[in-house]
Every structure is written in structure tokens, then in C-alpha cells.
Amino acid sequence: MGLKRFVVGTGLGVLVGYGTLMSIPSNNLSRHLEEAHRTNVGMGDTNIEFLLEFKNTILQEAREHRIPAAYLAAVLLEENYDRPRWEDVKENVATVLGYDTTLGPGQVKISTAVKLDCDELAITRDRQEIIDRLRDPYINIKYVARFLAHRKAHTANARGLDNEGFLHNPKQMVLVGSQYVNGLRAEENWYGYSVVMNLKDVPNVFFDGESKPIVEMALNYVRQNGRDALSKF
């Protein structure tokens, strides 16, 4: 009876703990704001606060890798919207156990970071060094920009588009976003549509010009083409 009570009690404790962690927002971004000595963390939308705090890095990496800053910002939002604290716990456990997990503001896989470094003939780093780099928000954003640029360069109808042309082509934005998470053979999916929808939340400072026409075009494309993909998700 004692063992049974222990097992039942432990199981209930795990379920309660899981439920609690699912209801608490992730600190995947807020901790970086705290490290940046932001005193008003949590007073507004943490996702937008993060974008504005790391605005210069996002703009710089987007410019260096020739992708729209607004699109890079939209991907960062997608990786953190509605993320519960449970995901932080899973990420930490997976890292300790040696799994190929995703890390940082942009949720970049350890293996992806290694491949991107190899593609640029970077010095081979050990696992812990890669993990430390991915947990640095400035370097993590760089990896996200590099990976998006890689995907765009390998997407036939997107590779020739400049930033303005890309932002005015919702289909290619959806496709590159879809392939960002599911590989170069992926077709349009919920992730790509969600990224494009996120453009409506990206502050104007990340757009080179007027954002309204771009956002309206993007949302219209999602309404016309993305209902099924988003409903299945």
C-alpha cells in the first residue's frame, strides 16, 4: 500500500508540475532582457521587447546575410510565441543528456549550427562551445540569419529576389519559412504561414519602408491559401 501511494503520489506530482510549467510563460527571451539590465521586463509583450532590445543585431545580421530584417524578426517571434516554461525544461534536460536539441532565441539545432560553421570553413568547435554560442542571443540571431539565407538561396524562385521583392512575394516567404524547419523538399506548411502572419506584429523599424501594404498582401495570401495547413496544426 505504501509503495502504491508513493507511485500514485509521484505520478500526480509530475502531472501537477507539468500542468504548472505548461501554464507559465517561457523565459527563453525574458532572461536575455534581464541580462541586458532591462528594468521593465514583463511590463509589455516580451517578444516585441526582445526584438527592440536586439534591434541593432537583427538589422545588422539581416543586412549582412541579405534577408529582410522584418522576416528575420517574424521567425524569431514564431519560435517564441506561446512557448511554455515546460519547453525550457525539456531543452535543458536534452542538453544535459547529449541530444541534438534546439537552443536560444531562434531555437537553432546544435547540428544545424555545426553544419553552418562547416559550410563557412569555420574552426571545428566542441559540443559545449557550440551550446554556449547558441545560448548567446547575439550569436544565436546570427545563426538564424545564416540559416534563413541558406534556405532562401536554395529555393529556386526565391534565390533571385532582393529584399523588397521577397517581402512582396508571400508565396516565397511561406515556402522559405516552411523549408527552414522541414528541409528543402518541404512544401508550404503551417510554420511558413505562421511566420508570414507574424509580419503584422513586427515593429515598423524592421521594415525599410511602409509596412502596411506588405502586411496586407501577406495576410491575404494566408487567408486564401493557408486555412487548411493552419487548421490541421
Domain locations in the chain?
2-232
Q: List pLDDT tens digits, range 125-141.
A: 788 999 999 999 999 99
pLDDT at 11: 38
Q: List pLDDT tens digits, range 163-202.
A: 999 999 999 999 999 999 999 999 999 999 999 999 999 9
SS3 84: strand
CATH class of 2-232: mainly alpha
Residue pair 55/205 in contact (Cβ under 8 Å)? The answer is: yes
> 196: which 3 cell numbers?
508570414
pLDDT at 203: 97
Position with higher pLDDT, 80 vs 227:
80
Indicate yes or no: pTM above 0.95. Answer: no
Percentage of residues in the chain having pLDDT higher than 70:
83
Q: List pLDDT tens digits, range 12-60.
A: 343 344 455 455 768 888 888 888 765 554 556 899 999 999 999 999 9
User: Mind giving me the DSSP string for 215-229?
Assistant: HHHHHHHHHHH-HHH
